[in-house]
Structure 1
Amino acid sequence: MPAEQTKLKRAGTGLRAFDRERACPGYTLFAPYQSADPTVYLIDLDGTPLHTWRMPYPAQYARLTERGTLFYNGKTPGEPHNFLSDKPYKVGAVLETDWSGRVLWEMRHPDHHHDGILLRNGNVMLLTLAKLPRELVAKVKGGMPGSEHKGDMYGDHLVEMTTDGRLVREYRLWEQLDPETDRITAIQELRDAWSNGNGLAELPNGDIVVSFRTISTVVVVERRTGVIVWKLGAPPLCGQHAPTPLPNGNLLIFDNGPHRLDHPMPFSRVIEVEPKTRKIAWQYRERRESDFFSPRISNAQRLPNGNTLICEGDFGRLFEVTAACDLVWEYVNPYFGGAPTNNRVFRAYRYSAEEIARARATRHAS
């Protein structure tokens, strides 16, 4: 019998560990990242699929809204002469469906990358890229010299739009970054995109949290003025993803760590940061650092019982830990697509039985 050539498949997929007494009850939602099979899965704690959604585009990721619908970031086909066309982080569309997968609305933007979120006012906020002035490109520090895209570099700006595609407001965030101090932190990083935003979240007051991967920085943008009012960079951060506001006012961040400035080796961790002091209030990392590492994508979610759900995205590994960092649930995405070795998951989320009941009801109410 031929040997299995994919390491992850040899190690095992599906449910790998389950402590029924300490795991948080609920159902876990995930979508194989940009797979040729654009299916969103909802599984129970035994790893059994409860429901699936078949989507029109390959997945970036999906999550449930407060009213129970499915909000989806999907990758549209590349457009000629667009910088993003061949980038793995290109997205292009956000949409909302009911439980049955019926599309309620869809909005597209050719420069949309990495993330888009549904705001409380009903609009969407997108990360988009724009070409920077050549004179600014020459001033940006860091990265591999000469690795710009045909001499150009692209910068992040936020675009707030209605769900029918009308522009509400733009925030050109690259204008507020300093090309000397907000430098690209890895010498081996390409210089085609300066800050390369990868995550958005709305704070209770309406301000927006943004994660910039290549400059290893998380910022808070005041919604009313578009001004960056808070910033945390490297160290302690390194190539981080998915800043998530917590009820206590802190931020939960997946700190990927591919090239740390304060440690000699790469490793990932999940950290809870207190914004006022910029101190780490809690963190999860493996005792042997290399046992937990995803150089790209990934997220974490604080659960109602105080546990934390973690998506180690590059390896499709979803697991749950207690506040004391004990592992109580582990599942490895068994759905490989796009390439035979790819079972990546951009993000994953856990939902309660009540939230799933609300989602089921959208099939009739939407």
Structure 2
Amino acid sequence: MKPNKLIYTLLLFLLIYSCDNNSTTEDVLPDEEQQDNTDDGPDNNDDPDQDNGNAPTYEKAGEVEILNSDLIDQNPVLINDAGNNLVYLMNKKGEIIFDWNINNGNLGNDCFIESNGKLLAMLESEETLIALGGQGGKIELLDKEGNVEWQFTYSSEDYILHHDAERMPNGNVLLMVWEKLSASNAIAIGYKQEIDIYPDAIIEVDPTNNEIVWEWHMWDHLVQDYDENLPYYGSISENPHLIDINYNQLENGDVSHANGIEYDATNDIIYLSVNFYHEIWAIDHSTTTEEASSHEGGNYNMGGDLIYRFGNPEAYGDFESKRMFNNNHHPNLIEDNTMFVFGNGSDQLQSTVFEIEIPETFKNQNNEFNEPSILWSFTDPELFSPKVSGAVTLPNGNILITEGDFGVWEVTRDKEVVWKFSGDGFYWRTYSYTENELISNDILNPN
């Protein structure tokens, strides 16, 4: 072969090889990688009206699953992550768009944004002498920079705030308390074990002076059938408005473990979620403190006795009616006569959100006393948290469900799951706020 033909042949070979090689590389790139190669790096668009990559970037709180984007409520949600001691606003992409500095103690569970944009937060006090799951001891009102505008501490070896709080229309705050009853006093009132116990109580605090202006104590409304020679002796089935002190026999003395409080301002009623009785208790707040310690007085003339209870008929000696809860959290009034309750479902390893119709008239007869109508419910084989959790409504009518050990679900009234969030936290509750609310309170900047 002549030299000029040899050179021509080599050049032709190299050209063909080069074309084949480039074509193969393009073909094996997935579409998304090709798109990434176009979008990554500096913005080469010289149009001055374009953003040029200056849009804010946010930290991801966890993973988001979009199941039906057309039906998702796009308003931000407030996440209370007690596992990581974080309180933050998150968009539906799972991005943290605002967070609070919690500098004065670990979360004691509930936190929520009030109408003025302040964060009301339950926190653990510096010294916790009663250590039960959900203990707190302190409540604070924080501005968006984390500055404390109000603080109330109620923590000693004899009592401690825990779990939840409720702001009332008059500005006062309802708080949940565990009170220590010594082993000798517990035995003296008919408790079966000689151990310290911690019954629940409720106090109402005036934040202008931190005075307790009203209180209710579980131990004023007991019944026991253990020893006829001791106080409170009687039959729970004949006294369903009272509380059987021996219903639970736990070694740590946490006999009731209330975990959520809700206030019905229209009817002046407090609803208390009582986890270890598997019930919701209704208490007449129209009483004076003196009446609340008795069995008379108030709008229902029952003093501080339970004017209504539901969720677990066995707790008041009714073994015929159907049981609704096996552990429960977050009594959340939607309207005056309807309420969401998160049923943890510890017996079935499957949780259920119930929407319940509260009866207009409370009955005091056994076997007719409780179990309201269920208007709506949602469950799923994958929905289960034995602790914490709750449900709230969204502006578009969907239901936002907090699954404490997992994250958050958004479901429609037709029970379609449209959105999920999951992370590595322990999620107490999730609340929803409109973007306009957050902008008007200067928490978020307008777009």
**1:95-134 Cα deviation digits (max 9, x unpaired):** 1122222221111111101112222211111110113432
Structure-1 separation of matches of 2:223 and 2:397: 38
Q: Displacement of 1:187 after TM fit? A: 7.4
Q: Secondary structure at the match of 2:187?
A: helix
Are the equivalent residues in 2 in contact too, given 1:184–1:214 (CA < 8 A)? Answer: no
State the AA in 1 paired with 2:186. Answer: R
Structure-2 separation of matches of 1:19 and 1:99: 33
Q: How many residues are matched?
A: 321
CA RMSD of aligned residues (A): 2.5
Q: Displacement of 1:358 after TM fit? A: 2.9
State the AA in 2 paired with 1:198. Answer: N
Give TM-score, length-normalised by structure 2: 0.67
Which structure has more strand as a fraction of its residues? 1
Match status 1:267 vs 2:315: no
Structure-2 separation of matches of 1:268 and 1:303: 20
Structure-2 separation of matches of 1:297 and 1:347: 7
Q: Secondary structure at the match of 1:201?
A: strand
Give TM-score, length-normalised by structure 1: 0.81
Given the alignment, which residue of 362, 366, 379 partners 1:285? Answer: 379
Are the equivalent residues in 2 in contact too, given 1:99–1:359 (CA < 8 A)? Answer: no
Structure-2 separation of matches of 1:219 and 1:245: 14
Aligned residues with identical type, % of pairs: 24
Q: Secondary structure at the match of 1:354?
A: helix
Are the equivalent residues in 2 in contact too, given 1:72–1:94 (CA < 8 A)? Answer: yes
Q: Secondary structure at the match of 1:87?
A: coil
Are the equivalent residues in 1 in contact too, given 2:132–2:254 (CA < 8 A)? Answer: no
Are the equivalent residues in 2 in contact too, given 1:75–1:92 (CA < 8 A)? Answer: yes
Structure-2 separation of matches of 1:200 and 1:345: 18
Matches within 5 A, 1:1-366: 13-35=62-84, 38-56=85-103, 57-59=105-107, 60-79=109-128, 82=129, 84=130, 86-110=131-155, 111-132=160-181, 133-135=185-187, 138-139=190-191, 151-163=195-207, 164-179=209-224, 181=236, 182=243, 189-190=250-251, 192-205=253-266, 206-225=268-287, 226=292, 227=304, 228-234=306-312, 235-247=323-335, 249-259=337-347, 265-276=348-359, 278-286=372-380, 288=381, 291-315=382-406, 317-334=407-424, 343-360=425-442
Q: Which has the higher contact order (CA 8 A, sep 6+)?
A: 1
Structure-2 separation of matches of 1:269 and 1:177: 30
Structure-2 separation of matches of 1:271 and 1:115: 20
* Aligned CA distance change for structure 1 residues 92 and 32 (closer, same or farther; 3 Å): same
Give the greater-gyration-radius structure (CA): 2
Structure-1 separation of matches of 2:100 and 2:203: 27
* Aligned CA distance change for structure 1 residues 121 and 193 (closer, same or farther; 3 Å): same
Structure-1 separation of matches of 2:101 and 2:377: 36
* Aligned CA distance change for structure 1 residues 213 and 222 (closer, same or farther; 3 Å): same
**1:190-235 Cα deviation digits (max 9, x unpaired):** 4612211100111132321111000111012111124332111311
State the AA in 2 paired with 1:313. Answer: G
**1:286-305 Cα deviation digits (max 9, x unpaired):** 1x3xx211111111102222
Q: Secondary structure at the match of 1:15?
A: strand
Structure-2 separation of matches of 1:348 and 1:186: 31
State the AA in 2 paired with 1:230. Answer: Y
**Which structure 1 segments of 5+ residues have no match?**
1-11, 141-145, 260-264, 335-342
* Aligned CA distance change for structure 1 residues 361 and 285 (closer, same or farther; 3 Å): closer
